[in-house]
Amino acid sequence: MASGFFALLDDIASLMDDVGAMTKIAGKKTAGILGDDLAVNAEKASGFVSSREIPVLWAITKGSILNKLIILPIAFLLSAFVPIAVTVILVLGGLYLSYEGAEKIYEFFVPHNHPKEEKAKTYLTKNEILFLEQEKIKSAIITDFILSVEIVIIALGTVVQESIWTQVMVVTIIALVATAGVYGIVALIVRMDDFGLKLIELNGKKNSLSDSVGRFLVGALPVVIKSLSVIGTIALVLVSGGIFVHNLDFLHHWLEALPAIVGEFLAGLVIGFICLLVVIVFKKVLPMIWPNRNNHHQ
């Protein structure tokens, strides 16, 4: 009886060792997409009245947790019964990531006109403010759902050959750490300028230590968000390229002579711009073949 108990403990310890090792690997694979997740959510959670930033962020966080509760069981069922679907979804997710990265690069280097936005009202009622807040929260949760699918599938792709219990534990840990880590850092980022203002007002003396640190934090906020956007874009291209290189054999053979990071970046960049070109052409051709489509929606 005792020997059986200790054998069980040994099996559990072995399983946890495997889970720990695989979690590290999955964490490295998903680290790239977390940069984009962080940049997107920092932008989505900013722009509110100071007193509403944390409540809004908490609402988005709860939506993110609900997204994971929906995505995880579906992902595990696919892995158990239709494992090829994980690879297919992974590659499709890679196409989306590469397209998004290429689109950001295109918009940065190629100037193009955006439709003129209506001038914002100088005064909004409380109901209007709450409505706009809810709309922004919904948009952030939808974006989180897309990014969560990518994170879960990428993590699952690293352990798809392992036992189902290892998959469940590793991917669940990654999903929870991603949610807590990303939104915890976003909370610090969106409050950075408020903390800086409090330091500036701490003693009212210019050029004091608190004044200098406070001014640095206030000035650093837009730089941090912009930097995260750039890092996130590079991460999108690299992560998508890694997906293509590791799941498409012909691409792996073509690029195996190059350093891994260079090959993955090239793969993500080229395929991303091909996807972008297809989308641009489609948008130009669609009005020609369906000129009255807007009337159908009215």
Give the pLDDT score at 2.
46
Domain layout of the chain by residue ranges: 21-112+124-297
The CA distance from 278 to 274, in Å, is 6
Query: How far apart, in Å, are the Cα atoms of 137 and each of 55, 58, 140, 297?
Result: 10, 10, 5, 25
Give the pLDDT score at 28.
61
CB 71 within 8 A of CB 148: yes
The CA distance from 160 to 153, in Å, is 10
* pLDDT average per 10 residues of sequence, the chain (298 residues): 45 51 58 64 64 80 90 86 83 86 88 51 66 82 80 79 79 84 80 79 74 81 77 81 86 86 92 94 82 56
Give the pLDDT score at 8.
42
Cα angle 214, 46, 61 (rounded to 5 degrees) comes to 115
Q: Please list, in sequence order, all residues whose beta carbon lies within 8 angstroms of the beta carbon of residue 124, skipping any fewer than 6 positions away.
A: 132
Give the pLDDT score at 5.
41
